[in-house]
Amino acid sequence: MAVQMDIQLADDLAESTEEPPPSSQMITWAQAAWQGDQDAEPVISLRIVSPAESQQLNFEYRGKNKPTNVLSFPMQMDDAFSPLEESEEEFAIPIALLGDLVICAEVVEQEAREQSKQREAHWAHMLVHGMLHLQGYDHEEETEARQMEQLEARLMQSLGFADPYQLESPHLDTSGTQSIKSKPGSNQSPTAESKS
For residue 74, the surrounding DSSP H or E stretch is strand 70-74
- CATH code for the domain in which residue 38 is found: 3.40.390.30
What pLDDT is attached to residue 149?
Answer: 96
What is the residue range of 148's domain? 4-192
CA-closest candidate to residue 99, choices 63, 62, 136, 68: 136
Instruction: Give the residue ranges of DSSP H helices in 4-47.
Output: 23-33
- Give CA–CA dist 21/35, Å, rounded: 23
For residue 87, the surrounding DSSP H or E stretch is helix 86-89
Tell me the residue type at 81: F
Contact call for residues 8 and 37 (beta carbons, < 8 A) = no
pLDDT in tens, 80-97: 444 555 555 555 556 678
- Give CA–CA dist 131/74, Å, rounded: 9
Q: What domain count does the chain have?
A: 1
Strand duo 191-192 + 70-74: pairing: antiparallel
pLDDT in tens, 96-132: 789 999 999 999 999 999 999 999 999 999 999 999 9
pLDDT in tens, 41-76: 889 999 999 999 999 999 999 999 999 999 999 987
Q: Is the pTM of this model over 0.95?
A: no
Q: How many residues does the chain have?
A: 196
